[in-house]
Amino acid sequence: MKILMVTDLVKRFSLEVLSGHNQFHRVLKKTKVRRPGLEFMDKFDFIATEHIQILGKNEINYLHTLQEEECKLRIGNIIQYDPPCIIITSNQEEPPGLIQYCIENDIPLLRTPDSTSEVSAKLDAFVVKAMAPEISIHGVCVNVSGMGILLRGKSGVGKSETAHTLIGRGHRLVADDIVVLKKLSPQTLLGSHNEKNKEFLALRSIGLLNVVRLYGRTAFQEETRIALDIELTKWESNTLNNELELETKFIDYMGVQIPHMQIQLQPGRDVAGLIEAAANNWYLKQQGYSAAEEFVKRLEEEMEEDN
């Protein structure tokens, strides 16, 4: 998990600093921002601590109606919950005494022209992603028809070559060789690059390619939600299962269950085409359609007609 500090927010969102330049090292520990409500009143033990506090128009207008000492008292009810910083939205004027109170309590006070809803959504998305648990795995990550797919297999099996073929068919590379996986929720796994391998694809006998320079911006995607895990394996006779519909298998990444399948390689097999078919078929299953069920239904209808 990456350590996120106030300075990261200031740089990422170009926040105006009203106070607390020497407190940018404060570490963010919670992934959700909060707007004070009950916090303006007396202390409540059940209020969550260590969240970024957002002061929108309602909060700032309320504070402007108070005398300076009363304003400090209400702000003090927020400070006691140890926010890493306080952000004023919509370029509003800070209430009297707020800057001084934040200075005295070592709390960075920041300001943004964005509305409360805009900055809350942006901050939540950024902080959740930045603080998400992550691991790095050996493989290739591609986006096929809008679906994130992990390609795994032994070194030299043809993962990068398959990704190159998929790019030629209009799909997108996310990461080659090293894939960074982030757990955003118990059901959501995000695949991305590690910055060093961004836009690069390594092909044996060819070398390192920059797919954006070669094929344009549409050949690359920063990140994608992982929907399928596909393992490329060597061909083994008499091991392929030709049932109408295979039982879904799963692989676990940090507690997130991802559907898993194997594709065996053999000269002449259109592996990229099989991956496209797997992606499209999985999408249809998510929409409630099963080709196998429809096929069986047709057989049953034909048998009924014969009878």
- 171 a catalytic residue: no
Q: Which of 8, 30, 129, 177 is catalytic?
A: 177
Residues 21, 43, 138, 297: which is the catalytic one?
A: 138
Token couple for 251? 């692989």
Distance CA 10, CA 235 (A): 53
Question: How far is it, in rounded angstroms, from Cα 297 to Cα 290?
Answer: 11
Helix (H, G, I), strand (E, B) or coil at 203: strand
Angle 74-8-226 from CA coordinates, rounded to 5°: 110
> What DSSP designation does 23 have?
G
Q: From start to end of the chain, where are the E strands? A: 16-19, 53-55, 86-88, 109-111, 134-144, 147-152, 172-185, 188-192, 200-203, 207-210, 223-234, 249-253, 256-265
Catalytic residue among 51, 72, 159, 193: 159
Active-site residue, 159 included: yes
Give catalytic status of residue 252 as yes or no.
no
Which sequence positions are flagged as catalytic?
138, 159, 177
